[in-house]
């Protein structure tokens, strides 16, 4: 057994080398980003033992484990170092997930008819910014600079130009001169979970962001249980079930696997619901460089979505069509996490079939889009959704 940490930053030169390596690679949209070199670390395991082990880099690991973007290099809580076993059997004390029933009637958006929800608020305006929201949108766009396409594309994303007019009711990236752009990906080739993956995490953590980006690459639907600092519900549940206040924490009700550690979670998701962990994108594989670029992308928001505000807990999770790279989706996610509102995210990165799913439901694709089964409300436009969540669930200070 060996001590394992989320990421280790040995020297500034290592981060510089990683940066130079990544920058030197031409980014080609439409292809999967392949790892620059094979990882030498041992295979990750699907269960995590709860025994603690000391490590000489523990102070640095604790500082980086859960980063508050208000103070990038300051940890929220000091998790213990963990050890991993060299067997596929569940070690003593490790958690084995049971399916979490949020509500006996809670279903995904696909299972509920669109006409069960009343569309409220403004009409969707493509790339429109509401009055007074420009600063929020700009600061929420930091990841475009630091994380490139990670969190925007699905694995194997491929655009193609099709001759003729786009058939009515068909999603398209755009139409040009009697032709339209079609987007596809490889995600339809991968196994799909029968039940959503469950993630305990919070918006301002770069390790959590890595996992959220992987979810978009794989086009997975995820039931998020937000764990903002000071949150009374899901942070405590994660600690009770897993034994640590450490995030992200994943539970897969389809396999019974539960685990910490962002790299382990990403490897597990790629092995179970993707092309295999050897195909994990370079943008998720670059160690300290990945963590730092994720953290710097979050930094302009100064920790928004990381601290709990008193709110009424909904009976059923809210469904949200979203993808990680969108600044508009980020603003909605921040509010959902801040109010500790559980939500089922229908991942819809470029190449996702759920873009067509939303067109089928509403005649148009735009993210974010929410459906709230607690009130029967459906809504586009991030500023309107944030206001709705605040007025519906936030408690007066």
Q: Is residue 297 part of a domain?
A: yes
Mean pLDDT of 341-369: 97
Residue 317: inside a domain, yes or no?
A: yes
pLDDT for res 92: 36
Q: Sorting pLDDT into bands at 50, 70 and 90, what band is 112?
A: low
Task: Please give the Cα distance from 148 to 45 (Å, whole number).
Answer: 29
Task: Please state which of the ranges 113-117, 150-154, 276-280, 308-312 shows the lowest mean pLDDT.
Answer: 113-117
For the segment 274-302, the average pLDDT, to the nearest whole number, is 93
Range of 201's domain?
A: 112-153+191-397
Binned at pLDDT 50, 70 and 90, residue 129 comes out as confident
To the nearest 10 degrees (0 to 180), the angle between helices 382-393 and 327-338 is 10
Is 396 within a domain?
A: yes
pLDDT value of position 147: 93
As given in the structure block, the two tokens for residue 390 are 């605040």
Q: Which residues have a Cβ under 8 Å from the Cβ of 232 and sit 6 or more positions away? A: 308, 340
Between residues 112 and 396, the one the model is more confident about: 396
How far apart CA 133 and CA 135 sit, in angstroms, is: 6
Q: Are strands 179-184 and 174-176 parallel, antiparallel or unpaired?
A: antiparallel
Q: Domain tally for the chain?
A: 1
Tens of pLDDT, residue by residue over 189-227, are: 999 999 999 999 999 999 999 999 999 999 999 999 999
Between vectors from CA 136 to CA 134 and to CA 142, what angle results, nearest 5°?
105
Residue 29 lies in a domain: no
d(CA 380, CA 123): 7
pLDDT digits (tens, 9 = 90+) for 142-165: 988 899 899 999 999 999 999 999
* Distances 58 to 8, 79, 249, 392 between C-alpha atoms, Å: 10, 9, 19, 42
79 vs 208, higher pLDDT:
208
Task: Identify whether 140 is part of a domain.
Answer: yes
Q: What is the mean pLDDT of residues 281-294?
A: 93
For residue 296, being part of any structural domain is answered with: yes
Cβ atoms of 216 and 154 within 8 Å: the answer is yes
Taking the CA atoms of the chain, what radius of gyration do you get in angstroms?
20
Residues 284, 214 contacting (CB under 8 angstroms): yes
Q: How far is CA 292 from CA 64, 65, 170, 203, 205, in A?
A: 10, 12, 39, 15, 11
Phi and psi, residue 377, nearest 5°: -95, 135
Q: Find out whether 140 and 330 touch, Cβ atoms under 8 Å.
A: yes
Q: Please report the beta strands in the chain, taking only residues with DSSP state E, as ranges in sequence order.
A: 2-4, 67-68, 71-75, 82-84, 118-120, 158-163, 174-176, 179-184, 197-201, 222-226, 249-252, 257-259, 318-322, 343-347, 369-372, 377-380
Q: Does residue 103 sit within a domain?
A: no
Amino acid 63: pLDDT: 35
Give a yes or no: residue 80 inside a domain.
no
The pLDDT of residue 131 is 86
Q: What are phi and psi of 263, to 5 degrees?
A: -65, -40
β-pairing, 249-252 vs 174-176, is unpaired
169 three-state secondary structure: coil
Q: What is the per-residue pLDDT for 144?
A: 80
Burial of 77 (0-12, 13-18, 19+ CB in 10 A): middle
pLDDT greater at residue 328 or residue 58: 328
Question: So what's the pLDDT on residue 127?
Answer: 76
């Amino acid at each position: 057994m060996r001590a394992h940490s989320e990421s280790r930053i040995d020297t500034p030169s290592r981060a510089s080398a990683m940066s130079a390596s990544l920058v030197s690679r031409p980014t080609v949209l439409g292809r999967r980003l392949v790892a620059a070199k094979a990882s030498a670390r041992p295979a990750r395991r699907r269960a995590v033992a709860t025994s603690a082990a000391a490590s000489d880099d523990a102070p640095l690991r604790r500082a980086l484990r859960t980063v508050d973007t208000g103070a990038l290099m300051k940890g929220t809580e000091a998790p213990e170092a963990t050890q991993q076993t060299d067997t596929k059997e569940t070690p003593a004390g490790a958690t084995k997930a049971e399916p979490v029933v949020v509500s006996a009637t809670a279903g995904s958006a696909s299972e509920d008819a669109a006409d069960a929800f009343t569309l409220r608020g403004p009409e969707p305006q493509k790339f429109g910014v509401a009055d007074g929201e420009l600063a929020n949108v700009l600061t929420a766009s930091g990841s475009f600079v630091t994380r490139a396409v990670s969190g925007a594309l699905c694995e194997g994303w491929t655009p193609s130009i099709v001759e003729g007019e786009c058939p009515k009711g068909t999603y398209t990236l755009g139409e040009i001169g009697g032709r339209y752009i079609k987007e596809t990906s490889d995600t339809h080739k991968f196994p799909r979970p029968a039940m959503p993956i469950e993630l305990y995490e919070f918006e301002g953590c770069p390790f959590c962001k890595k996992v959220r980006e992987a979810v978009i690459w794989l086009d997975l639907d995820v039931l998020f249980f937000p764990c903002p600092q000071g949150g009374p519900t899901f942070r405590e549940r994660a600690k009770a079930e897993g034994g640590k206040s450490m995030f992200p924490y994943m539970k897969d009700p389809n396999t019974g696997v539960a685990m910490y550690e962002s790299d382990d979670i990403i490897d597990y998701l790629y092995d179970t619901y993707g092309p295999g962990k050897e195909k994990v994108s370079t943008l998720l594989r670059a160690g300290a460089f990945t963590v730092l670029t994720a953290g710097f992308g979050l930094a302009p928001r100064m920790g928004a979505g990381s601290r709990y505000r008193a709110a009424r807990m909904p009976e059923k999770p809210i469904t949200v069509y979203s993808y990680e790279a969108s600044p508009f989706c980020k603003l909605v996610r921040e509010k959902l996490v801040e109010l500790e509102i559980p939500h089922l995210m229908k991942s819809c990165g470029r190449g996702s079939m759920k873009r067509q799913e939303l067109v089928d439901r509403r005649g148009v694709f735009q993210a974010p889009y929410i459906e709230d089964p607690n009130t029967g409300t459906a809504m586009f436009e991030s500023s309107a959704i944030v206001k709705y969540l605040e007025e519906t669930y936030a408690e007066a200070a």
